[in-house]
Structure 1
Amino acid sequence: MTKTALITGATSGIGHATAYEFAKHGINLILCGRRLERLHTIQEALSKLTNVHILNFDVRDKAETFKAIESLPVNFKHIDILINNAGNAHGLDPINEGSIDDWEAMIDINVKGLLYVSKAIIPQMTERQSGHIINIGSSAGKQVYPKGNVYCGSKHAVLAITEGMRIDLNPFGIKVGAISPGLVETEFSQVRFKGDKIANTVYDGFKALQAEDIAEIIYFVVSRPAHVNIADMLIFPTAQANAFTLNKQ
């Protein structure tokens, strides 16, 4: 039976690449994002490969999130795979100089947004006693680095929530896992550094992971046999050993 996947943050980066990877394998797609024009562009491209429905909402808005998911047409209501990908980083400041607005943006999207979307979808999975949830974490959820404070905290929370989900949903046969990438070359740094020119140098001197690398891994995870659940994956580019060790040429 053809499966249906809902992907948040599908307009760029890992979410966008995962949508393309899933479409190549015939998975039906519900693509969520804040940028409607991009959603339409992706929908037009991928509709040649699979069935695509778009939802334009911000995961930070609880009411909007539940309303959007409730609005799904009948043929998209059965969600087999949830990819909680929407996330961001704002600023790179020591805790004593950090912006509260930046902190709230990271917690609202990375933690609360993930919970809102999950809460809207999990009931149908528990009712059917099947489903697969993948939360996109980060190596920052494994190791805290200087000036990473709240971002690292939000990604540690993602991994803790993932583990809690896996325990609580275990009686229902639902797979739950986390994918935690290191340095991936996406719009991430443009957002983090708010368009500052330093954002253009983050990936200089080494080959960073590409969004497509992570998308292929996500597809590998969801395509395992029913009795196999990949609970946790940490992925670095070869040049990166940990949060502090990067082999730049």
Structure 2
Amino acid sequence: MTATTSHLDGKVALVTGAGAGIGRATALALAGRGVKVICAGRTEASLRKVADACGSTAHVLTLDVGDPASVAGLLDRLPDEFRAIDILVNNAGHDSGGRQRFDTGRIEDWASIIDTNVTGMMRVCHAILPGMVQRGSGHVVNIGSTSAFRSYPGGSAYTTSKAAVHMFCEGLQQDYRDSNIRITEILPGLTRTDFAATRVGGDPVKGKAYYDAAPMTLDPGDIARGILYALDQPPHCTVSQLVITPTQEP
């Protein structure tokens, strides 16, 4: 990918869940702006494809945000030139087993949603923020959801996780309000990714049917553009929250 010169040029970004969907689109968009991207996630083969598309400055990091040991050692597993992370995009998340009534679902699935979407995000932030504090700058972008504000049948665990992400972001904004560290929460509406297929055991037909039933959906690139918009603001300006929804919202 050919990069264009920008104030982001040469910065280092860590993107979790970079192997597909919003994470993949974000990694590619950042690479297009000259950012050195760490493509992080659980599936190395998918990450490798994204990193290859990003260009020679991208790096692959196998990372399971739900595994405390994997997160705790992430900086030690990076080359020296990637350890000073300027931008963190917390995108990893799932709703596996979701869209069913709470008592009929597996408690292991519900707990895993919270462990990944909330605790995993907190662990990654806790690993990266000390370096930003030491350097006196940084930008954390957490991917939330409009589901933080409205639940639906079968969404008990997922909407709880996104409501927690929303309050976590507000807490971080308070913690770092007197610093040059910026905290942004991106709240997408319905976005067409492999998320729905993963929810139902990886069935692409059911996943496609779920999105096709909606009057309109967003694309991952729409969310990536929103992330770049937040990152593009001058240092004295923070986009605290950015809600992005389909024009014809389901």
Question: Residue 120 of structure 2 aligns to a residue in which SS?
Answer: helix
Match of 1:81 among 75, 78, 87: 87
Shifted more, 132-141 versus 197-206: the winner is: 197-206
Report the TM-score, using the length of structure 2 for normalisation.
Answer: 0.92
Q: How does 1:34-183 map to 2 (within 5 A)?
A: 34-48=42-56, 51-90=57-96, 91-183=98-190
Q: Which residue does 1:11 correspond to in 2?
A: 19
Q: Which residue does 1:190 correspond to in 2?
A: 197
Q: Is the 8 A contact 2:28 2:53 kept in 1?
A: no
Report the TM-score, using the length of structure 1 for normalisation.
Answer: 0.92
Q: Quote the offset at 1:2 in angstroms.
A: 2.1
Q: Which residue does 1:32 correspond to in 2?
A: 40
Q: Quote the offset at 1:41 in angstroms.
A: 1.7
Q: Which residue does 2:235 correspond to in 1?
A: 226
Q: How does 1:237-248 map to 2 (within 5 A)?
A: 237-240=246-249, 246=250
Q: Which residue does 1:243 correspond to in 2?
A: none
Please give the alpha-carbon distance, in whole angstroms, between the structure 2 residues aligned to 1:142 and 1:135: 16
Question: Residue 10 of structure 1 aligns to a residue in which SS?
Answer: coil
CA deviations on 1:122-157 (whole Å, 9 max, x unpaired) are 001111221100100011112112221110000000
Please give the alpha-carbon distance, in whole angstroms, between the structure 2 residues aligned to 1:31 and 1:144: 31
- Residue type of the partner of 1:35? T
Please give the alpha-carbon distance, in whole angstroms, between the structure 1 residues aligned to 2:187 and 2:42: 23
Q: Quote the offset at 1:69 in angstroms.
A: 2.3
Segments of 5+ residues of structure 2 without an aligned counterpart are 1-8
Please give the alpha-carbon distance, in whole angstroms, between the structure 1 residues aligned to 2:119 and 2:87: 19
- Residue type of the partner of 1:170? R
- Residue type of the partner of 1:70? D
CA deviations on 1:210-241 (whole Å, 9 max, x unpaired) are 0011001101110111111000111111110x
Q: Is the 8 A contact 1:132 1:222 kept in 2?
A: yes
Shifted more, 39-48 versus 162-171: the winner is: 39-48
- Please, what is the CA RMSD of the aligned residues? 1.3
- Residue type of the partner of 1:199? G
Please give the alpha-carbon distance, in whole angstroms, between the structure 2 residues aligned to 1:21 and 1:235: 17
Matched, 1:211 2:220: yes
Please give the alpha-carbon distance, in whole angstroms, between the structure 1 residues aligned to 2:16 and 2:143: 10
Q: Quote the offset at 1:183 in angstroms.
A: 0.5
Aligned residues: 239
Q: Quote the offset at 1:195 in angstroms.
A: 3.5
Q: Quote the offset at 1:98 in angstroms.
A: 2.3
